[in-house]
Amino acid sequence: MAIQNSTTTNGTAATNGVNGASTNGVKAGPAPLDASKLVMTLAEKLKPLPEPESLVFGQTQTDHMLIVNYDPVKGWGAPEIKPYAPLVLDPMSSCFQYCPNVFEGMKAYVGPDGEPRLFRAERNMARLARSAERVALPPFDTSALLTLLKEFVHTEKRWIPSLQGYSLYLRPTIIGTRPALGVSASDSACLYVVASPAGPYFKGGSRAISLLAVNENVRAWPGGTGGHKLGLNYAPGFKPQKDAADRGYDQILWLIGDRVTEAGAMNAFVVVRRDDGDLDVHTPNLDGTILPGVTRSSVLSLLNAHTSSSLLLPTLPKTLKIHTHEHPITMPELKAWSDQGKLLEVFGVGTAVIVAGVGRIGYSGWGEELVLPENEGGLGPVGKGLFDMLTEIQAGRVEFEGWCVPVV
Amino acid sequence: MAIQNSTTTNGTAATNGVNGASTNGVKAGPAPLDASKLVMTLAEKLKPLPEPESLVFGQTQTDHMLIVNYDPVKGWGAPEIKPYAPLVLDPMSSCFQYCPNVFEGMKAYVGPDGEPRLFRAERNMARLARSAERVALPPFDTSALLTLLKEFVHTEKRWIPSLQGYSLYLRPTIIGTRPALGVSASDSACLYVVASPAGPYFKGGSRAISLLAVNENVRAWPGGTGGHKLGLNYAPGFKPQKDAADRGYDQILWLIGDRVTEAGAMNAFVVVRRDDGDLDVHTPNLDGTILPGVTRSSVLSLLNAHTSSSLLLPTLPKTLKIHTHEHPITMPELKAWSDQGKLLEVFGVGTAVIVAGVGRIGYSGWGEELVLPENEGGLGPVGKGLFDMLTEIQAGRVEFEGWCVPVV
């Protein structure tokens, strides 16, 4: 990839792209996202790196950002990696007024070879494109964005702590920038990526979290947007989350009626002992109310890999069979499994937390809290096995199906 | 109200406010919104006023904006009326990432006395406060904001076209500005008001609009946020709206199952002839999925006023009795009323459009479109009577219950 300084290539490049525009300058549509147009403007002075132990999730900005604007006529402009800077936007912009804003959460890791790595990044690119389409933001070439993202990771490589459990959290974002108040799709947009170095999600060692199951507020709904990663899915949870915290719970277990959807901003998993000694692992199916999480998908793959012996989870007996189920889970089922002594583990998974064990669940439909079996560090054998294996793969110490490869 | 130039009052004013903070400087909480701290910085050069006929809704910015920031420690700062300018925000800001953004739509009118007027503005202030609370934005003193808003209207008075059917559209907005990626409530915020001169919603005369009834995408649901005026309620409608436009419909009739909720961004009304010659007017009840519209409330009041003869709608017989009903309306009911020849009018109401008549409704559940009786200008006698009376009250030519009073 060619990197230029302060100038962009012009002309035909914009008409050879994904939009299938003609090459003779006639009827050329909006230009596609083109990584070869990247302009690099590096910071004159780099920030001092913070002590890794002092990091709080998502509160540290790195030196640079990746940014590219979409104009309704010209299409995607020249992408730029430039010093981290505020956005300057008309107060009428669609992003403030009607919230056509989408994002991704990803992490870059440093492998034993010292090279930065990305974990299943093509899945985040594809999901971002689906999210953008859902709120009528302009389409973009996902492979071009991945190329740009890799360049950005190389630029910010010094920000990836080389300590175990640390990474550089990446936040690709697209916001609608149409500066007008009419209620309609934003025909202009700003795509940017910012980064923040991140340590283990739980300070002072992993612990089990508590969940308050809630159905008077509903996160997502059939025909709604819960299956897409939209910014607008999150603000409605702020007040319920505060209320849950006031009642002594870490996160909300979101329900529709008595059906489990997500845990906080994580996908939910439930481990149940079978009468034949095998394990059932249940997670809600992707019915449009559930975010199709990259960690969720990876967890299902790793559980199946253990059962097929293609990759063994270190905390579990080699011969243990785990049966994964993507289907609805209800609160009465959870209670019955618990009453029968079969409910072994509940955990949430996501890019930020990886795997978080659940210790107790409060629910107005129950007389008392559901208490899960206690485990050191908050994670049972299945959750701990997944956490350890995912972090080994992410750190480049275990290779599995090309999930985490050096950024080249 | 004292207006200062470039300086703010300081000290005890901030501790005498709605938060009930002590006055001796000990344990003072965040400062409340305080209109007496207003700083005025007027534009050195005013923009030329556009030709009223050239106005497109929400695309013209006036000379100034009202803006005030909330800091988690200091509370609300000094409000400022200043030249219209872009917002400058960290790319990690909550408004882009998680969308805790709320707004209001209001209009200022010029009365026969040349004085600017606001229509039921205290209702917008109260709704904005409820919206802010729903997404955990900081609270504010609604009467202080109304005082500031009136000052802003006076500042921008020259932008209110004195032509019939014209007004100055006002857009109070509050956005979350916490510059961090952790998924939690925004503890900082920016409240601002921008304005845009507006002409009649329909260019070239009023006409009936077409609606496509949709339930595969759902605007709002029980336990969701449809009953609050949040920016995030709107972006999910952009793609369905585009799809509806591609199929030749102006707006979407949003359903939950077969139940009517809203029409585009308007509250929906249905007029049905009764066997006794009276009229039934139905609108969905405020069950949390329906925006409690100011125009909706005003329409119900005006219909009841006609029946009680306290204010007669000019297009209707004086003795006509209209029975208003706030309750669920289903698609089969609409079809049955239509088949029986009783369905006289369907219309949407809102601040921007006032009253918009519906000419036809498409629905996958029906073999053919439902076609409403035709009326000149698209509005039947009830819709036209409401439109005319609302615009008379808003223009200050008819006084009714103090709804539209000069801004003093």
Residue B389: closest CA among B320, B298, B323: B298
Both tokens of B177, joined, read: 């500005």
- Report strand pairing: A39-40 vs A80-83: parallel
Q: Which residue has the tokens 């309620």?
A: B233
Considering only CB atoms, which chain B residues are within 8 Å of A58? 92, 180-182
Please calculate the CA angle A237-A238-A240 and round it to the nearest 5 degrees. 65
DSSP symbol at A232:
G
3-state secondary structure at position A165: coil
Q: What is the pLDDT of residue B71?
A: 98
Those of residues 325-364 in A touching chain B at CB distance below 8 A are none
A289 close contact with B: CB closer than 8 A: no
Nearest to B98 among A59, A234, A242 (CB): A234
b/e code A208-221 from CB counts within 10 Å (16+ = b): bbbbbbbbebbbbb
Q: What is the pLDDT of residue A2?
A: 37
Tens digits of per-residue pLDDT, A304-314? 999 999 999 99
Ordered DSSP codes for B268-330: EEEEEE-TTS-EEEEE---SSSS---HHHHHHHHHHHHHHTTSS--TTS-TT--EEEEES--B
**Optimal mutation site among B80, B234, B364, interface A, most CBs of chain A within 10 A:** B234
**Optimal mutation site among A56, A65, A99, A209, interface B, most CBs of chain B within 10 A:** A99
Residue B279: closest CA among B269, B289, B287, B288: B269
What is the rounded CA–CA span in Å between residue A61 and residue B105?
Answer: 36
A88 close contact with B: CB closer than 8 A: yes
B246 close contact with A: CB closer than 8 A: no
What is the rounded CA–CA span in Å between residue A133 and residue A123?
Answer: 15
Q: What is the pLDDT of residue B200?
A: 87
Considering only CB atoms, which chain B residues are within 8 Å of A239? 133-136, 185
B169 close contact with A: CB closer than 8 A: yes
* Bridge partner list, B363: B213
> What does pTM read for this prediction?
0.93
Q: Least CA distance to A169: which residue of chain B? A: B181
For residue A13, pLDDT over 50 is answered with no
Residue A339 CB contacts under 8 Å (≥ 6 apart), including other chains? none
Q: How close does chain A come to B214, measured CA to CA in Å? A: 10
Considering only CB atoms, which chain B residues are within 8 Å of A59? 180-182
CB contact under 8 A, B135 and A239: yes
Q: How close does chain A come to B80, measured CA to CA in Å? A: 15
For residue A150, pLDDT over 70 is answered with yes
HSE-up of residue B131 (Cα within 13 Å, Cβ side): 31
Homologous superfamily (CATH) for B209-394: D-amino Acid Aminotransferase, subunit A, domain 2 (3.20.10.10)
Nearest to A181 among B171, B216, B217 (CB): B171
Tens digits of per-residue pLDDT, A174-227? 999 999 999 999 999 999 999 999 998 877 667 899 999 999 999 999 999 999
Both tokens of A303, joined, read: 């559980």
Residue A31: closest CA among A84, A1, A70, A57: A70
Q: What is the pLDDT of residue B164?
A: 87
CATH class of B8-198: alpha beta
What are the residue boundaries of the structural domains of chain A, listed by start? 8-198, 209-394
Residue A28's pLDDT band (boundaries 50, 70, 90)? confident
Determine contact, residues B139/B187, Cβ cutoff 8 Å: no
Q: What is the pLDDT of residue A21?
A: 40
Nearest to B86 among A59, A90, A235 (CB): A90
B216 close contact with A: CB closer than 8 A: yes
Q: Least CA distance to B134: which residue of chain A? A: A239
For residues A266-274, average pLDDT: 98
Considering only CB atoms, which chain A residues are within 8 Å of B90? 61, 86-87
**Optimal mutation site among B217, B232, B241, B351, interface A, most CBs of chain A within 10 A:** B232
Whole-number average pLDDT of chain A: 92
User: Exposed/middle/buried for A361, CB within 10 Å: 0-12, 13-18, 19+?
Assistant: buried
CB neighbours of residue B296 within 10 Å: 23
B183 close contact with A: CB closer than 8 A: yes
Residue A308 CB contacts under 8 Å (≥ 6 apart), including other chains? none
B397 close contact with A: CB closer than 8 A: no
Determine contact, residues A137/A100, Cβ cutoff 8 Å: yes
A231 close contact with B: CB closer than 8 A: yes
Considering only CB atoms, which chain A residues are within 8 Å of B92? 58, 61, 171, 194, 196
Q: How far is CA B329 from the centre of its chain?
A: 23
Q: What is the pLDDT of residue B111?
A: 87
Considering only CB atoms, which chain A residues are within 8 Å of B98? 231, 234-235, 238
For residues A142-157, average pLDDT: 98
Q: How close does chain B come to A50, measured CA to CA in Å? A: 16
Both tokens of B325, joined, read: 């009903």
Nearest to A96 among B95, B133, B169 (CB): B95
Question: What interhelical angle do B121-134 and B142-155 show, nearest 10?
Answer: 120
| Per-residue model confidence as pLDDT tens for chain B (408 residues) | 333 333 333 333 333 333 434 445 556 799 999 999 999 999 999 999 999 989 999 999 999 999 999 999 999 999 999 999 999 999 999 999 999 999 999 999 998 899 999 999 999 999 999 999 999 999 999 999 999 999 999 999 999 998 888 999 999 999 999 999 999 999 999 999 999 999 988 776 778 999 999 999 999 999 999 999 999 999 999 999 999 999 999 999 999 999 999 999 999 999 999 999 999 999 999 999 999 999 999 999 999 999 999 999 999 999 999 999 999 999 999 999 999 999 999 999 999 999 999 999 999 989 899 999 999 989 999 999 999 999 999 999 999 999 998 998
What is the rounded CA–CA span in Å between residue B139 and residue B126?
Answer: 11
CB contact under 8 A, A96 and B175: yes
Tens digits of per-residue pLDDT, A35-85? 999 999 999 999 999 999 899 999 999 999 999 999 999 999 999 999 999
Nearest to B238 among A185, A218, A224 (CB): A185
Tens digits of per-residue pLDDT, A132-145? 999 999 999 999 99
Considering only CB atoms, which chain B residues are within 8 Å of A192? 91
- Does the CA dihedral A77-A17-A186-A38 come out positive or negative? negative
Count how many residues are written for chain A.
408
Q: What is the pLDDT of residue A27?
A: 60
B289 close contact with A: CB closer than 8 A: no
